[in-house]
Homo-oligomer: A and B are copies of this chain.
Amino acid sequence: MHALEPQSLDRDIPPTGLALFGMSADPPTQAHQEIMQWLAPQFQRVIVWAADNPFKTEQTSLHHRQAMLGLLVGELQSTYGQIQHQPALSYPYTLHSVQAAHRYWPQSQFTLVVGSDILPKLGQWHQVELLFQLVDFLVLARPGAPLDTSLINSLTVRGGRFQLGAFTGPDISSTVSRQAAQPENLLPVIAQYVSQHGLYQASLTAPANAPRTQPPATHFPTSDKAEFTVGVDNVVFAVDSQANRLLVLLSQRQQAPYQGWYGLPGTLVRAGEGLEAAAYRVLAEKLALRTLYLEQLYTFDGLGKRQPFARSQAEGEPINAVKTPESVRSGIRYLSVSYFALIPYGAAALMVSAEAGGAWFPVHEVPPLAFDHADILAYGHRRLKNKLEYSPVAFDVLPPKFTLNEVYQFYSTVLGENFADYSNFRSRLLKLGILQDTGEKVIRAAGRPASLYRFDPIAFAPLQETPLVFV
């Protein structure tokens, strides 16, 4: 039993192993901190977590305990970089925490750090024999829980490997600090957290009207951050289903750069104005309309071509090799947030004419565009096609009552020629059950009168989250 000799620790435990130190952290104390400091030089890494024991009903919520432990570890990390807070190890059973650790750091040697007070209960732990195979134990003596050699013997018989830690510091009882908790007994960083969140109210003499949650201030620390001007650029589509043409709204630029070129209608975001509000403003300046579909597309920095289509960086260069483009290092930069809009075809006519400078182009006949607007337009076009296939945007811009053929024309205009035939489209659409037959009939041309349908939002509501196919 010489392994139980305290002084044997420093030479028996190799500095290549990982220490696992779970605790309730309710709250974490200076003793916990000192144990970590004591463990740090002896192990390659020290992993700590707050145990998630659902049976302790009186316990402070795991969130708070994790936050406090994170603060405590954060204080140490500048000196002891190898100490790590690992919330993903929070499990009800220690076995599961240890198993997770094995998955995180395969082929590592683990030492589980425990207080001597848990030894009597250890025999009944969940699958303790399996646990014994996975970790060595490092037992730290606690006052009131002297080491019982026969107990350790019986556990050793079942497969446990125990070492005794030569740690001598303050006791680690959280119960004491919780119950007799005066702020001065806690570490300052913990005390601050405790008072801010109103924990341990029963005993803590917290300032009566201390703020519980902090106001979300708007101040950010300055560094060599860049300053930006932010603009929105809109890709606005209208569907002329009768002529089978998809139209896009462009506007001609009045100033350099690209003076005289066509581009996407856009604007700079004004002080106090939201992104989406700016996008709406651009539309309202060019068009008079009441209904539309609008969503954010993509954000482009001004630096080089971004490709929103890029699938992956897999197997590529290490990420540290990503280099900052050398262009545009001067002064204020420009950021473009693009939005994508679909408006009713009728509204295309209602263009506000005075100085609007907007014009509709068929999407397959757009002129060369300013900046990278051709890319943005292509991306928006792609998004429109995808959106149509799995979401009912079409009904946002079709008239309130419509014939099924109108819907069909709309879809085939946007999605192109290789499109399903009318009768199958029809039956699929109706089977979704989101269209109401109004009973009204209408005659658009020669031929049998068509029923007018209405989109039924309440029938659609439950399908909102379902992946639907409208094709």
Q: Which of A's residues lie within 8 Å of B, judged by CB?
A: 45, 52, 62-64, 66-67, 70-71, 74, 77-78, 81-88, 90, 96, 99-100, 103-105, 189, 192-193, 196, 214-221, 223-231, 240, 242-243, 245, 247, 250, 252, 254-262, 268-277, 280, 283-284, 289-296, 298-299, 301-304, 306, 308, 310-316, 318-320, 322-326, 328-330, 332-335, 337, 345, 348-349, 351, 353-357, 359-362, 365, 367-368, 371, 389, 391, 393, 395-397, 400, 464, 467
A221 to B267, CA, bound (A): 11
Query: B322–A277 contact, CB under 8 A?
Result: yes
CB-CB under 8 A from A262, the residues of chain B are 66-67, 70
Query: B77–A225 contact, CB under 8 A?
Result: no
Tell me whether A252 and B77 are in contact in the complex, defined as CB-CB below 8 angstroms, given that A230-B335, A335-B228, A335-B230 are known contacts. no
Query: A328–B272 contact, CB under 8 A?
Result: yes
| Closest 4 A/B residue pairs (Cβ) | A81-B354, A63-B367, A314-B396, A88-B360
The residue that A312 contacts in the complex, of B289, B306, B354, B396, with Cβ under 8 A, is B396
Tell me whether A271 and B225 are in contact in the complex, defined as CB-CB below 8 angstroms, given that A88-B247, A296-B298 are known contacts. yes
A257 to B216, CA, bound (A): 6
Q: How far is the CB of A278 from chain B (nearest CB, A)?
A: 9
The residue that A90 contacts in the complex, of B215, B302, B365, with Cβ under 8 A, is B365
Tell me whether A296 and B319 are in contact in the complex, defined as CB-CB below 8 angstroms, given that A104-B348, A272-B328, A325-B274 are known contacts. no
CB-CB under 8 A from A301, the residues of chain B are 269, 274-276
CB-CB under 8 A from A83, the residues of chain B are 353
The residue that A226 contacts in the complex, of B271, B298, B349, with Cβ under 8 A, is B271
The residue that A289 contacts in the complex, of B103, B304, B319, with Cβ under 8 A, is B319
Query: A78–B228 contact, CB under 8 A?
Result: no
The residue that A100 contacts in the complex, of B100, B243, B367, B393, with Cβ under 8 A, is B243
Q: How far is the CB of A386 from chain B (nearest CB, A)?
A: 8
CB-CB under 8 A from A230, the residues of chain B are 225-226, 228, 230, 335
Query: B87–A359 contact, CB under 8 A?
Result: yes
The residue that A299 contacts in the complex, of B245, B260, B272, B337, with Cβ under 8 A, is B337
> Can you list 27 A-B contacts with CB-CB less than 8 angstroms, sorted by A residue number?
A67-B261, A70-B262, A85-B359, A87-B362, A88-B348, A96-B243, A103-B242, A104-B349, A214-B259, A220-B268, A223-B268, A225-B230, A225-B270, A226-B229, A228-B335, A230-B230, A272-B324, A272-B325, A272-B328, A274-B301, A274-B304, A276-B322, A291-B313, A293-B313, A294-B313, A314-B396, A315-B400
Q: How far is the CB of A258 from chain B (nearest CB, A)?
A: 6
CB-CB under 8 A from A304, the residues of chain B are 274
A295 to B272, CA, bound (A): 28
Query: B277–A324 contact, CB under 8 A?
Result: yes
CB-CB under 8 A from A313, the residues of chain B are 291-294, 396
A304 to B276, CA, bound (A): 11
The residue that A103 contacts in the complex, of B240, B271, B368, with Cβ under 8 A, is B240
A5 to B256, CA, bound (A): 47
Query: B227–A74 contact, CB under 8 A?
Result: no
CB-CB under 8 A from A77, the residues of chain B are 353-357
Sample of 6 more A-B contacts, CB < 8 Å, known A272-B326, A299-B337: A77-B354, A86-B359, A214-B258, A226-B271, A228-B335, A274-B324
Tell me whether A274 and B303 are in contact in the complex, defined as CB-CB below 8 angstroms, given that A78-B355, A283-B319 are known contacts. yes
Tell me whether A322 and B280 are in contact in the complex, defined as CB-CB below 8 angstroms, given that A225-B270, A328-B272, A349-B105 are known contacts. yes
Query: A353–B81 contact, CB under 8 A?
Result: yes
**Residue on B with the closest CB to A393?**
B312
Query: A269–B322 contact, CB under 8 A?
Result: no
Query: A357–B74 contact, CB under 8 A?
Result: yes
A342 to B52, CA, bound (A): 26
Tell me whether A351 and B84 are in contact in the complex, defined as CB-CB below 8 angstroms, given that A214-B257, A252-B71, A294-B313 are known contacts. yes
CB-CB under 8 A from A371, the residues of chain B are 216
CB-CB under 8 A from A242, the residues of chain B are 103
CB-CB under 8 A from A367, the residues of chain B are 62-64, 66-67
Query: B296–A218 contact, CB under 8 A?
Result: no
Tell me whether A308 and B324 are in contact in the complex, defined as CB-CB below 8 angstroms, given that A74-B254, A230-B335, A303-B274 are known contacts. no
